[in-house]
Chains A and B, each alone.
Chain A
Amino acid sequence: DVKVTQSSRYLVKRTGEKVFLECVQDMDHENMFWYRQDPGLGLRLIYFSYDVKMKEKGDIPEGYSVSREKKERFSLILESASTNQTSMYLCASSPLTATTEAFFGQGTRLTVV
């Protein structure tokens, strides 16, 4: 069964902290994504990666960075967390281009206080 696993369901962090959100997929997919989900705004793409060590900015990359050292793992990094980064973060993976469906993790709800 296809699986995308995010390391935490809920996180509470303080303003200014460096935050790591981890995502692992077991499907040998080339592509991995990080989305941010906010009410009324839908899913907004932060970063995506189409290969190991390869990454591209999405629509809202400011304040975030990513790391993909291994094919199965894609990390989202908040260099200095701020309250406006309080949100639901969703990781996804897909095997090919956007002509095939993406598979999503269960999400991480991050609260920055």
Chain B
Amino acid sequence: DAKTTQPNSMESNEEEPVHLPCNHSTISGTDYIHWYRQLPSQGPEYVIHGLTSNVNNRMASLAIAEDRKSSTLILHRATLRDAAVYYCIRLLAPYEKLTFGTGTRLTIIP
């Protein structure tokens, strides 16, 4: 049980920002929020992770709600290569195993 909820699918236009939401209302204080994405026929690729504060890296930004019950992955300028299934995952400390939900299938429209 991944204990996160994401929309099944989303669409976005190329070169526009994309906001992918995730609900994790039962998250505990020590659980990290990780985002991975999976392109067709490939293993998942790490995108970003965070605990409480918003995080930025070269791929994306992660905005975490103050109560930590939800988060949003932000792709600032979507490209066709960003089309993938995006998984929001709670890393359950101390067990530290990634359990995947159904994810959000992101389609980028040229």
**A and B from one complex:** no
B interface residues with partner A (beta carbon < 8 Å): none
A interface residues with partner B (beta carbon < 8 Å): none
